[in-house]
Amino acid sequence: MIQQATRTAEAVRPLLPVTGADLRVPLVTGGSAPYANLDIAASAPALASVTARVAELLPYYASVNRGAGFGSAVSTAALDAARRTIARFVGARDDDSVQLVRHTTDALNLLASAVPGDVVVLDLEHHANLLPWARVAGRRRTVAASATLAATVAAPDDDLARALPALLAVTGASNVTGELLPLAGLAEVAHRHGARIAVDGAQLVPHRRVDIGALGIDYLAFSGHKVYAPYGAGVLVGRPDWLAAAPPYLAGGGAVRAVTLDEVTWADLPARHEGGTPNVVGAVAIAAACEALGALDPGEQAAHESALGERLRDGLAELPGARVLRIWDDATDTLGLATFTLASRPASLVAQYLSAEHGVAVRAGRFCAHPLLARLNSGATAVRASVGVGTDSDDVDRLLAALDALVRSGPRWTYDADHLPAPDPRSLPGWLARE
Ligand code: PLP
pLDDT tens figures, 229-276: 999 999 999 999 999 999 999 999 999 999 999 999 999 999 999 999
- Map out the domains of the chain as residue ranges: 24-46+298-409, 50-295
pLDDT digits (tens, 9 = 90+) for 32-45: 999 999 999 999 99
Q: Is 225 helix (H, G, I), strand (E, B) or coil?
A: helix
200 lines ligand 1 (CB under 6 A): yes
- Nearest alpha-carbon partner for 21 in 53, 44, 55: 44
pLDDT digits (tens, 9 = 90+) for 107-137: 999 999 999 988 999 999 999 999 999 876 6
Residue 146 in contact with residue 178, Cβ under 8 Å? no
Instruction: Evaluate whether 24-46+298-409 and 50-295 have a shared fold.
Output: no
| Å from CA of 107 to ligand 1 middle | 10
| pLDDT for the residue 6 | 46
Choose the weakest-confidence range: 11-15, 102-106, 146-150, 403-407: 146-150
Residue 197 φ/ψ, nearest 5 degrees:
-125, 135
For the question of residue 290 being annotated catalytic, the response is: no
pTM of the full predicted structure? 0.96
105 lines ligand 1 (CB under 6 A): yes
Residue 113 in contact with residue 246, Cβ under 8 Å? yes
Q: Domain 50-295, CATH 3.40.640.10 — does that match?
A: yes
Closest-CA residue, ligand 1 atom 15, reads 103
From the CA of 106, give the closest atom in ligand 1.
Answer: 16
Residue-level length of the chain: 435
* Percent of the chain with pLDDT strictly greater than 70: 96
393 lines ligand 1 (CB under 6 A): no
From the CA of 225, give the closest atom in ligand 1.
Answer: 15
Which residue of the set 100, 368, 372, 406 is catalytic? 368
Closest-CA residue, ligand 1 atom 8, reads 42
| Å from CA of 110 to ligand 1 middle | 15
**For 24-46+298-409, which CATH class?**
alpha beta
Question: Above 50 in pLDDT, residue 3?
Answer: no
| Å from CA of 352 to ligand 1 middle | 22
Where is 198: in which H helix or E strand?
A: strand 196-200
Q: How far from chain centre, in Å, is Cα 308?
A: 18
Looking at residue 358, its amino acid is: H
